[in-house]
Amino acid sequence: MTVRVRFAPSPTGMFHVGGARSALQNWIYAKQQGGVFVLRIEDTDAARNKPEWTEGILSALDWIGIERGSYEGPHFQSEYAGEHRAAAARLHESGRAYYCDCTREAVQARTGSQYQGYDGFCRDRGLPAGEGRALRFRTPDEGETVVVDLIRGEPTFENKLIEDFVIARGDGSPVFLLANVVDDMTMGITHVIRAEEHLPNTPKQQLLWDALGVKPPIWAHVPVVVNEKRQKLSKRRDKVALEAFRDEGYLAAAMRNYLMLLGWAPSGDREIVEWSVIEQEFRLAEVNPSPAFFDEKKLRAFNGEYIRALGVEEFVEACRPWLTGTGTIAPPPWQPEEFDADAFAAVAPLAQTRIALLSEIVPNVDFLFLAAPLIDEAAWAKAMKEGSAELLDAALAAFEALESWDAETLKSTLEAVGAERGLKLGKAQAPVRVAVTGRTVGLPLFESLEVLGRERTLSRLRAARARLV
């Protein structure tokens, strides 16, 4: 039997990191089993779906390493409406489903509770199909439904506690529970690896598989992803969109490594490992069923490590979208013609060890490309103390007299200027740094001045000095 798994997102919003995690787990499982990964877009909720969300899912999957053309699909659920309706009709014909015209109010009035669920009123009324009549599945009165779950063992549900649930609405349209099962059947899915949130649906869905006469799949419900307060990550409250992480400058390799650690770890106390190690070692059965904490701080630290591990040229290439404002990345504060690739290449190795997100490259190098530095006023106030004007005068005079403009000479020159005033290098550097870069922290100063060049450095020092009058 060929293993066939699927990832079945609904295109109703940005692509959730929890979805990305499930997609990767499906992807790896298929690869390990020599199976097939199917992408199915569950687009039947016409009111909430938008084509751009579908495109967003495809490109987010591409980014994370599940590339278009390397999987089956995308199939679109909306194209299988005929199969959904046929399955509903079969269930009705075989007596496994019946029509029901009860309103919610009527059910509540009979049961005296809004929580009780459906009371089976129409079970034996033999109503024919009709406008406004929902089709309900007749759940067994006895027995249990045992779900075989690779992560959770065998969660068991008593059938008598499962209400006669709706499978098609009053207008004949099938609901998620049925459409999802029929699609999995039609597409020959053997293993359903999906989020824990769907576990309450699973006994109902398995009953549908049984009623339609097809062997149900093996299930794996992967743990819910939570924030630091142990709340389920929600798009209204938390940053959850994979695209948002991408646009902030997380590397796909760091992201997918981190996502796979939600509830699982490679052997030997390691966390940062090659993707091939994860592909080899990951075992669905080893995934911890408890909620998995999505720790953005840790992810950030991970990303820093991944950035530092890049070759310098790869790093330069990876920074390009932030430096040129391509794709969905916000444009940098300089004009495209102000960007100087050689100057960037010269400071790139210095920046590479200092940033954790690619987007942080911009404030680190903007002084190189802007006509005048963006002065951070708080930094200015902190660095410009009594005596700073004199220090800048002395630094200017000493720098103007230099024959060679290199980091080492600049450093020893400023060191001497500071020493004459009883200042350590760090103190002497601060006003110079703010004058030239606008900030109190940044790349190593003297290398920065070397790359910025004599004329621009001197003119910025003069401008700062003029401001101190």
* Binding stretches for ligand GLU (CB under 6 A): 8-10, 42, 180, 194, 198
- Closest alpha carbon to 298 in 268, 350, 259: 259
Q: Catalytic amino acids?
A: 235
In the complex with ligand GLU, the residue whose CB is nearer, 10 or 429, is 10
Handedness of CA 184, 188, 191, 193 (dihedral sign): negative
In the complex with ligand GLU, the residue whose CB is nearer, 11 or 442, is 11
In the complex with ligand GLU, the residue whose CB is nearer, 162 or 389, is 162
Spacing of C-alpha 94 from chain mean position: 44
In the complex with ligand GLU, the residue whose CB is nearer, 194 or 439, is 194
Rounded CA separation 34/439 (Å): 54
343 class by beta-carbon count within 10 Å (0-12 exposed, 13-18 middle, 19+ buried)? middle
In the complex with ligand GLU, the residue whose CB is nearer, 47 or 469, is 47
Rounded CA separation 228/231 (Å): 7
Structural tokens at position 321: 């979208």
Spacing of C-alpha 462 from chain mean position: 46
Helical ranges in 172-264 per DSSP H: 176-186, 202-211, 242-248, 252-260
Q: Residue 19 CB, nearest distance to ligand GLU (Å)? A: 7
Handedness of CA 14, 18, 20, 23 (dihedral sign): negative
In the complex with ligand GLU, the residue whose CB is nearer, 152 or 194, is 194
- For 131, residues 6+ apart whose C-beta sits below 8 A from its C-beta are 170, 171
Rounded CA separation 173/196 (Å): 26
- DSSP code of residue 337: G
Q: Residue 244 CB, nearest distance to ligand GLU (Å)? A: 19
Structural tokens at position 117: 């669920």
Q: Residue 59 CB, nearest distance to ligand GLU (Å)? A: 17
Q: Residue 269 CB, nearest distance to ligand GLU (Å)? A: 32
Q: Residue 140 CB, nearest distance to ligand GLU (Å)? A: 22
Structural tokens at position 290: 């408890």
In the complex with ligand GLU, the residue whose CB is nearer, 10 or 457, is 10
In the complex with ligand GLU, the residue whose CB is nearer, 193 or 307, is 193
User: What is the secondary structure of 43-98 as a DSSP string?
Assistant: ---TTT--HHHHHHHHHHHHHHT--TTSSEEEEEGGGGHHHHHHHHHHHHHTTSEE
Taking CA 232 as the corner, what is the angle to CA 228 and CA 236, rounded to the nearest 5 degrees? Answer: 95
Q: Residue 344 CB, nearest distance to ligand GLU (Å)? A: 41
Q: Residue 363 CB, nearest distance to ligand GLU (Å)? A: 37
Taking CA 281 as the corner, what is the angle to CA 302 and CA 5, rounded to the nearest 5 degrees? Answer: 100
Q: Residue 144 CB, nearest distance to ligand GLU (Å)? A: 22
CA dihedral defined by 167, 170, 172, 176, rounded to 10 degrees? -40
Determine what percent of the chain falls in helix, strand and coil, rounding each to the nearest 5: 50, 10, 40
* 3-state SS, residue 181: helix
Residue nearest ligand GLU by beta-carbon distance: 194
